[in-house]
C-alpha cells in the first residue's frame, strides 16, 4: 500500500487478555517504530527496528510488552495480561532507513480499550 497500515483500527478487550497489534510499513522502509499515545498526551517511544540490527526496546514499559518484526516487513506488538492503563492509541511509523533526523511516516493507529 501507499502508506503505513495498522490493524485492527480499534480493539476492545477485557483486562487480563492478550492482544496483538499489527503494522505494515511502507514498502522498502527498513526502519520501523512503535509509539503509545495516551489520551491527551504526546507520543511515547516504545521500540525501534532497523533492518537486521538488534531492536531498541528501551521504551517498552514492562515485560508484558513485546514486539517482533519479520525481516523488513510486518511487525506485531503484543501486550500480555492487559491492564486498564494499557488503554491508548498505539501508533506505528516507518522511515526509508534508520538514522538521523528522518521524518517518520505514521499509520492511523490502533485504539486499544481495556475494560
Partner 1 sequence: AQSVTQLGSHVSVSEGALVLLRCNYSSSVPPYLFWYVQYPNQGLQLLLKYTTGATLVKGINGFEAEFKKSETSFHLTKPSAHMSDAAEYFCAVSPMDSSYKLIFGSGTRLLVRP
Residues lying near partner 1 in the complex (CB under 8 A) are found at 4, 31, 33, 40-45, 48, 50, 56, 91, 93, 95, 98-109, 111
For partner 1, the closer CB: 64 or 111: 111
For partner 1, the closer CB: 14 or 101: 101
Nearest to 1 by CA among 92, 101, 115, 113: 92
Nearest to 47 by CA among 20, 17, 78: 78
Min CB(81)–partner 1 separation in Å? 27
Min CB(26)–partner 1 separation in Å? 12
Min CB(45)–partner 1 separation in Å? 5
Q: Hunting for cell 475494560 — which residue is that? A: 115
CA 90 – CA 6 distance, rounded (Å): 9
Min CB(110)–partner 1 separation in Å? 11
3-state secondary structure of 36: strand
- The DSSP annotation for 93-111 comes to EEESS-STTPPPEE---EE
For partner 1, the closer CB: 71 or 100: 100
Amino acid at each position: 500500500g501507499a502508506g503505513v497500515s495498522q490493524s485492527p483500527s480499534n480493539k476492545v478487550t477485557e483486562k487480563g487478555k492478550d492482544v496483538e497489534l499489527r503494522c505494515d510499513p511502507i514498502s522498502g522502509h527498513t526502519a520501523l517504530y512503535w509509539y503509545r499515545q495516551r489520551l491527551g498526551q504526546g507520543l511515547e517511544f516504545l521500540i525501534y527496528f532497523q533492518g537486521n540490527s538488534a531492536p531498541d526496546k528501551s521504551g517498552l514499559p514492562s515485560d508484558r510488552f513485546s514486539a517482533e518484526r519479520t525481516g523488513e516487513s510486518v511487525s506485531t506488538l503484543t501486550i500480555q495480561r492487559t491492564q486498564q492503563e494499557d488503554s491508548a492509541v498505539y501508533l506505528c511509523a516507518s522511515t526509508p532507513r534508520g538514522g538521523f533526523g528522518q521524518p517518520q511516516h505514521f499509520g492511523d493507529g490502533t485504539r486499544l480499550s481495556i475494560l
